[in-house]
Amino acid sequence: MEKIDRLSLDVLAARLAEKTSVMSNGCKVWTGAVGKGGYGILSYDGVPIAAHRAAMAIKMNDKSLLVRKKGPLFQPRLDYVLHDCDNPPCINPDHLHLGGAKQNRAEAMARNRVSNVACRTGPKLTREEALEVRETGKTWEGLCDMMKKYKIGQGAVMNIVSGRSYKFLDLEMLDRGELPGRYL
């Protein structure tokens, strides 16, 4: 954060302007380096900064927005910069707003950018349900039935059938004694 403190928002605004292209829908698209998820990224003195966070920091004249804060779990924080336009490289401050993790997830799900399954922690299916999917999901009809019954995607069914997920169901692992006791 010390390096960020030395950063001038005016200098940052000039750097953003150098690598921005305006689209017909009003998005100001970052044309520089792109990181995970298609979001623009720039560097200041070796510190990576998300371009959309930089745009919001300039708009709100608040350098603290340049770096996501770490804090206690379950503490509601508005430290996410969210896109109204659903265009990750957009840095138009009029298309951005602050929100929290839950709001970010809800908006992404509403726009079908992520599935509800990815939001869960731990396995979605019980051991018995996963065994049913492993046996029934081997045929196309069975795969479709399991998708509908358990509201999971085709990839999830295929991963269970192939043993890539729910590996603890593999009887060979039990025979080899490779299964941790917490799954028994």
Non-local (6+) Cβ contacts of 57 within 8 A are 9, 12, 63, 64, 65, 66
pLDDT at residue number 166: 78
What span, in angstroms and rounded, lies between the C-alpha atoms of 86 and 161? 34
- Domain spans in the chain, listed from the N-terminal domain onward: 2-114, 127-183
Q: Residue 161 has which token pair?
A: 């059938």
Q: Locate tokens 């001038």: which residue? A: 8
Q: pLDDT (tens digit, 0 to 9) for every residue of the chain, 184 residues total?
A: 555 666 788 888 999 999 999 999 999 999 999 887 788 998 877 778 889 999 998 999 988 787 765 554 444 556 789 999 888 899 999 999 998 888 888 888 777 666 555 444 456 788 888 889 988 988 888 888 998 898 888 888 888 888 888 776 665 555 566 554 434 4
pTM of the full structure: 0.58
pLDDT at residue number 182: 36
pLDDT at residue number 19: 93
Q: Residue 97 has which token pair?
A: 């707003």
pLDDT at residue number 92: 95
CATH number of 2-114: 3.90.75
What span, in angstroms and rounded, lies between the C-alpha atoms of 12 and 24? 24
